[in-house]
Amino acid sequence: MNINIKATNTTLTDAIRQTIEGKLEILEKFLKPENQIFVELVEDNKHKSGKFFHAEVQISPHGIYAEAVANDFYEAIDLVIPKINEQMRRGKDKKISLRRRLGNLFKRSKE
């Protein structure tokens, strides 16, 4: 699992990097070592309510994408991780149910 982190309009600190890597460890059970995870953190200063922080996560080759907006980076990361986890879990469940349905089809055809 390769993690690429990009920070726009802000500096990427070691604490933020370690937090992202720690939170993304949850996804290791769904991913292969050659999969790429792209994380982009954006600080938006031009919003009428003040500063906003965007966190975007994209996983390739699965094509899974999620984003979150919050008042700081840590909150945005905490909001985006469950979205990605849910998408990965849903995809895995679909594969398993399809495999079971096809297995039942072949089992019935042999009888």
pLDDT (tens digit, 0 to 9) for every residue of the chain, 111 residues total?
899 999 999 999 999 999 999 999 988 888 888 999 999 999 988 777 778 899 999 999 888 999 999 999 999 999 999 999 999 999 888 888 888 888 777 777 766
Under DSSP, is residue 62 helix (H, G, I), strand (E, B) or coil? coil
Query: For the whole model, what pTM was predicted?
Result: 0.82
Residue whose tokens read 């985006």? 80
Amino acid at 50: G
